[in-house]
Structure 1
Amino acid sequence: MHKLYLSVILDLCDHRPVAYVLSDHNNNQLVFDTFDQAVKNNPGAHPIIHSNRGFQYTSRVFYQKLIDAGMIQSMSRVAHCTDNGPMEGFWGILKREMYYGRKYHTRKELVQAITAYIDYYINDRPQRCLDVLTPFEFHERLLAA
């Protein structure tokens, strides 16, 4: 059995995953690839990036990527995870709704399930905190305003 690692960047305004990458390794490259995908998918965005204190987010290379993209990093003190709370909530929802209680027999099955779930989460899963709209619907409403 091999592990599969998922890196996601959420837009905290509409709870929409703006980038995600799956990898067999939990390393700097996984986070860098996710960050690069988020920047590519959202040109001109200059958000505050909230993260935990994981080694990937404290590296000089990641910090330089933030500077180059014109972004600011926000990172809580040790044992104060307020910056990363929304991301932890997303992980809990994903695990509860698509992972726990199910068996995936192949890597391909798991990758397909994660990809399908993220699509569902963005386009079909209404959220109370978004006026019972999906993240995509809420995003579109904001763009139209």
Structure 2
Amino acid sequence: VLTEFAIPAGKVYLSPVIGRHGGMPVAWTIGTSPNAALSNGMPPDACSTLKDGEKPVIHSGRGRHYRWPEWIRIRKDNNLTRSMSARGCSPDNAAAEGFFGRIKQELFHKRSFAGVTMDEFVDMLDDYMVWYRDKRIKTEFGMSIMDRRRELGLVA
């Protein structure tokens, strides 16, 4: 699933993998075009975080980005099971859609990006993603998602 950010300098696209349990962005790609490179970039990064024997289900939209032969090859090479909801019904994408709402509320809406270049916005977005993953406090846990994962022994 991907989302678009339109700023005066142009459009920037974000394609993340969001963990359904905890809502942590596991991996992401950022680009200026909603192309194959954008959607193909994040599955290998996400898969590099898997432990031996883990075979997660990857929930995606029905968009062309997730039907391209290269994306399908990457999915198969990494033993990912794909799940897609029926048209107009996207519970599989709920984690990503909820994340998009939060990121747009916290980073994007009600801010002026006049004078911000595409490269500057890409850097801002990437910095936000790192902050969200590593530092943002999740009220439910009383700590960051990464700290919670450490507490549970899921990461070192």
Q: TM-score, normalised by structure 1?
A: 0.88
Counterpart residue number, 1:138:
148
Which of 1 and 2 has higher RCO (CA within 8 Å, sep 6+)?
2
Deviations 1:46-84 (A, max 9, x none): 210011111111223322221111110111010111000
Please give the root-mean-square deviation of Cα atoms over the aligned residues, in Å. 1.9
Q: Looking at secondary structure, tell me which structure has more strand per residue.
A: 2
Q: Tell me which stretches of 4 or more aligned residues in structure 1 moved more than 6 Å.
A: none
SS at match of 2:30: strand
* Alignment size in residue pairs: 144
Counterpart residue number, 2:5:
none
2:59 pairs with 1:50: yes
SS at match of 2:142: coil
User: Structure 2: how far apart are the matches of 1:117 and 1:36?
Assistant: 21
2:4 pairs with 1:22: no
Q: Looking at secondary structure, tell me which structure has more helix per residue.
A: 1
Cα deviation for residue 116 of structure 1 reads: 1.9
Unaligned runs of 5+ in 2: 1-8
Percent identical across equivalent pairs? 26
Contact 2:19 2:95 in 1 (8 A): no
Cα deviation for residue 43 of structure 1 reads: 5.7
Cα deviation for residue 122 of structure 1 reads: 1.5
Counterpart residue number, 1:34:
42
